[in-house]
Homo-oligomer: A and B are copies of this chain.
Amino acid sequence: MHVLIVGAAGMIGRKLTQRLSAVPGLSDRPVSELTLVDVVQPPEPTGFLGKVNAVTADLAEPAAANAVLQGRPDLIFHLAAIVSGEAEADFDKGYRVNLDGTRALFEAIRTEGLQQPYKPRLIFTSSIAAFGAPFPDRIGDDFLAAPLTSYGTQKVMGELLVSDYSRRGFFDGIGIRLPTICIRPGLPNKAASGFFSNILREPLSGKEAVLPVSTETRHWFSSPRAAVGFLLHAAALDLELLGTRRILNLPGLSATVGEQIEALRRLAGESAVKLIRHEPDPVIEKIVAGWPRDFEPRRAAALGFKAESSMDEIIRAHIDDELGGRIGG
């Protein structure tokens, strides 16, 4: 099986690449070829025995998507996106990459199929940024998408294309709305949601972190490990089961910041918790108030998608996957 990952140099893209290099196969077919695409050179996986094509390309450029599809991959992960903060700061860039780039990829698949039958499986990562307040405490599968960011708008537009292109038979697609990834590895970033990871990741390495919101703030999480699990599950799922609604709210863990801190205390002790400095930031508090807190993702659960069931589990995944099992600076 030939797998294409668009956005392969990103955090999830790199983890997915590494996992795909190690799995015996997907739906009983071995992964024989990986095409890795990103705007920066994607790192090649270690230990993979098949063929690897690492390509630097911007799909919003004319013909770039068609070139990437020349090898007619069987399975396509479309993870590439300008993130929320940047899409808000640079309106043109957000639409160019998140909407035009996505549409160019989908159109290239359709065009490929017009020449010779071709219907790959396509997995599109969307986000809970599809939702904007007001919403119920638990968002159900039938609740409207009403994004409050350009990023969320672009993601929902991509979802609509996934459903329409699938319905028309141009590809067999699924769009999955990922929870907020926690603990996001790497350096603290300025995303408004960054603190959810910072307040755990930094203390686990003996560093200080700032908490800009109240400990009662509730949000919807899954680990990077669970996110890769969602992608692999979507890759093997019988998509006929979705009917015409190709977009899923995924399972996650609903937890308050207070619960995050309690889990940190259990796993890393009071000294770690003391590294969190509470500095309320009204701007971030206001943004976060517009974010989903909890979901009732019945369809995805019935289809076998699984997330963590406790914050302890989410923190342990980080300790195992990023810190080699060890806590401390």
Contact = CB atoms under 8 A, between A and B. Distances in A.
A244 B160 contact: no
B245 A146 contact: yes
Nearest to A141: B144
A142 to B, nearest CB: 5
A161 interface: yes
A142 B145 contact: no
Contacts of A163: 146-147, 153
Interface in A125-179: 132, 135, 142-148, 150, 153, 156-157, 160-161, 163-164, 167-168
A78 B91 CA distance: 22
Contacts of A156: 160
Contacts of A132: 244
A161 B168 contact: no
- Stoichiometry, copies per complex: 2
Contacts of A164: 147, 150, 153
A144 B156 CA distance: 11
A245 to B, nearest CB: 5
A102 B279 CA distance: 44
A245 B146 CA distance: 7
A168 B149 CA distance: 9
Contacts of A148: 167, 244
Interface string A1-12: 000000000000
A110 B92 CA distance: 11
A81 B185 CA distance: 46
A91 B142 contact: no
A135 to B, nearest CB: 8
A160 B144 contact: no
Nearest to A158: B157
Given A142-B143, A144-B142, A168 B245 contact: no
Interface string A205-236: 00000000000000000000000000000000
A161 B160 CA distance: 13
A133 to B, nearest CB: 9
A145 B160 CA distance: 9
Given A153-B160, A157-B157, A160-B156, A91 B144 contact: no
A91 to B, nearest CB: 7
A110 to B, nearest CB: 8
Contacts of A143: 142-144
The 8 closest A-B pairs by CB, nearest first: A153-B164, A153-B160, A144-B144, A157-B157, A142-B144, A146-B245, A150-B164, A157-B160
13 contacts: A91-B110, A91-B168, A135-B142, A142-B144, A144-B144, A144-B145, A145-B145, A146-B245, A147-B160, A147-B164, A148-B167, A153-B164, A157-B161
